[in-house]
Amino acid sequence: MLPREDLLDGAQDPGGLTVLIDLAEQVLRTWQPAWSPFLSAPLCEETLARLGSLSELTWVADGGYPGAERQRLLCHRRDDTPDAAAPVQGVLIEGNFLFDPLSPDDLRKALQDMGMDESSLGDLWVRGDRGGQGICTPSAAEALHGRLGAVRDVEIRCESRPLEQLQPPVQRSVRTLQTVEASCRLDAIASAGFGLSRAKIVTHVKAGRLRLNWESVRQASRELVVGDRLQLQDRGSVEVLSLTRTKRERWRVELRRS
């Protein structure tokens, strides 16, 4: 048995982490590798941080394409070499959104309204005004294939597709940049990191499209600290690497954009 209490002590998501501890104990007991459901990015990171050092186990993350936010974790014994490709399938979600702009959250809600559990759904993304695409479990793809649903008043139709027929979001190269700002406010740093005006950043904050450490944030004036990460829908993420006072009482900010 694993030291469950120690592993859960101070956990951000104890309920979600408990499921992964159960999975790890199953693998230790049966000697058979096992895949988790789709996990949110913070739960995936917490799992790897807390369970990744267990001496007898190895964890592999796969979300269906490079850079995926929601991923499945493969847990296996260190002396095993199982197939590390996650059991996932693509799905097309087609509809006419020319006059009704669509978001990934709209797609997720629509699929959940059609009976899909959150844990069966990976990343979903918008493709122009004709709908979207996404990753899900094979059983969810089979259940969705050919079915009709709706996003608000727009009818959608779902089709299962192999991963190679999808067009995943463009992957951005990782780069480091520096800027000098009057403060460490979220809107100032996000503006520099994402290359958008502060007014645009405020608009994204109010619309709920900008997240801080994977959580929704509604205060553009919030002060950031080293290690904070910003995620902006369709524009990647920015991590604060360092904050240093200048002689003129401004802030020299080092960021990693990905």
From first to last of its 258 residues, the chain has per-residue pLDDT tens of: 899 999 999 999 999 999 999 999 999 999 999 999 999 999 999 999 999 999 999 999 999 998 899 999 999 999 988 887 899 999 999 999 999 989 999 999 999 999 999 999 999 999 999 999 999 999 999 999 999 999 999 999 999 999 999 999 888 889 999 999 999 999 999 999 999 999 999 999 998 889 999 888 989 999 999 999 999 977 889 999 999 999 999 999 999 999
The dotted CATH code for 175-257 is: 3.10.290.10
CB-count burial class (<10 Å; 0-12, 13-18, 19+) for 148: exposed
- Confidence at residue 208, expressed as pLDDT on a 0 to 100 scale: 87
Q: Sign of the CA dihedral 140, 163, 101, 172?
A: positive
Domains of the chain: which residue ranges? 4-77, 89-165, 175-257
- Confidence at residue 236, expressed as pLDDT on a 0 to 100 scale: 87
* Cβ neighbour number for residue 128 with a 10 Å cutoff: 9
Contact criterion met (CB below 8 Å) for 39 and 123: no
If we measure between CA atoms, which residue out of 215, 244, 218, 209 comes closest to residue 228?
Answer: 215
- Confidence at residue 170, expressed as pLDDT on a 0 to 100 scale: 81
Parallel, antiparallel, or unpaired for β 131-136 and 121-126? Answer: antiparallel
Contact criterion met (CB below 8 Å) for 136 and 116: yes
Helix (H, G, I), strand (E, B) or coil at 247: coil
> What CATH class is the domain 4-77?
alpha beta
Fold for 89-165, please state it. Alpha-Beta Plaits (3.30.70)
Checking phi first, is residue 74 left (phi over 0); if not, alpha (psi -120 to 50) or beta? beta
- Confidence at residue 130, expressed as pLDDT on a 0 to 100 scale: 94
